[in-house]
Amino acid sequence: MRHFLDFERPLAELEGKIEELRHLSADSGLNIAEEVGRLETQANRLLRQSYARLTPWQKVQVARHPERPHCRDYIAGLIDEFVPLAGDRLYALGLDRLARLGDLEAVGALAEVIAGCAQAHALGDPDAAAAAWRAGARAVGWGRESASTRR
């Protein structure tokens, strides 16, 4: 069953009626496609109207909706063979630190590592890719200053 927010209650009732009509149609063999289509159009219009005038709190509720897509959902839809970096040598060099501290400087360095390696691979230069990886791993793993000076 779908989870509806408080401001979506009228939509929930309308979708309940649509499901009820579909179930009735399947059981009795009645053709009520026109009525179902009309109700679906009304539900779509109500959905657009509801979301067009959300209050700030309702926007927060939508952002925290239990059925909202998460990163894994996007990854599954975009990438066939996804392998997380956990356990990778870059993880050992500091991704756990990035995750714990939210180190934006290191996140920027990681973006540069990925871009540099991709560019080197695209140019067919594995030595440059390896060098970019090593330099980036140092930057991401230890940052530009030592961990002892950050505390």
pLDDT digits (tens, 9 = 90+) for 96-125: 556 556 666 766 777 777 777 777 777 888
CA-based max dimension of the chain: 75
pTM to 2 decimals? Answer: 0.44
Amino acid at 130: A
- Is 74 within 8 Å of 52 (Cβ atoms)? no
Query: Domains of the chain: which residue ranges?
Result: 6-68, 89-150
DSSP assignment of 6-37, as one string? GGGHHHHHHHHHHHHHHHHHHHH----HHHHH
Q: Which residues contact 3 (CB under 8 A, 6 or more apart)?
A: 65, 66, 67
- Helix H or strand E encompassing 96: helix 96-101
pLDDT digits (tens, 9 = 90+) for 29-60: 677 888 888 999 999 999 999 999 999 999 99
